């Protein structure tokens, strides 16, 4: 579920993700408008590129084939997620991508699929 903060006009989606409510939001609070998608596009592309770059790190104990496999996995996840229209799922994608990126920067491989 989600809750709305009346003071800051934000929606809490998930455990840590907050989305700011705009006056130009569409009819509901669940589906993303074109503005919402445009606002999140840069952040999602940045996370995608950072994850692909982090997979090239020599700190990760991966073979060449394993690196290619992980990159293909990340590409397919972001490709499917690019068609997502739910605010909750977009926020979850960003949250999980940030967590995955933090693990990769520490030199750890996520135990579950990348994202």
Per-residue pLDDT of 15-36, as tens digits, reads: 454 444 444 444 446 777 777 7
pTM for the model stands at 0.67
**What is the C-alpha separation between 14 and 10, in angstroms, rounded?**
13
Instruction: Determine, yes or no, domain membership for 89.
Output: yes
Instruction: Determine, yes or no, domain membership for 8.
Output: no
Token duo for residue 47: 């996370």
Instruction: Determine, yes or no, domain membership for 113.
Output: no
The total of structural domains in the chain comes to 1
Instruction: Determine, yes or no, domain membership for 115.
Output: no
**Polymer length of the chain:** 115
Instruction: Determine, yes or no, domain membership for 25.
Output: no
Q: What digits encode the pLDDT tens for the residues 50-70?
A: 999 999 988 888 899 999 999
Instruction: Determine, yes or no, domain membership for 99.
Output: yes
**What is the C-alpha separation between 11 and 60, in angstroms, rounded?**
37
Range of the domain at 101: 31-105
Instruction: Determine, yes or no, domain membership for 93.
Output: yes
């Amino acid at each position: 579920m989600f809750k709305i903060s009346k003071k800051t006009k934000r929606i809490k989606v998930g455990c840590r993700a907050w989305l700011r409510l705009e006056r130009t939001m569409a009819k509901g609070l669940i589906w993303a408008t074109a503005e919402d998608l445009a606002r999140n596009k840069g952040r999602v592309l940045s996370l995608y590129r950072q994850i692909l770059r982090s997979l090239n790190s020599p700190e990760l104990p991966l073979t060449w084939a394993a690196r290619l496999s992980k990159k293909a996995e990340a590409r397919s996840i972001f490709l499917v997620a690019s068609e997502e229209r739910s605010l909750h799922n977009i926020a979850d994608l960003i949250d999980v991508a940030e967590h995955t990126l933090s693990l990769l920067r520490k030199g750890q491989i996520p135990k579950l699929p990348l994202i």
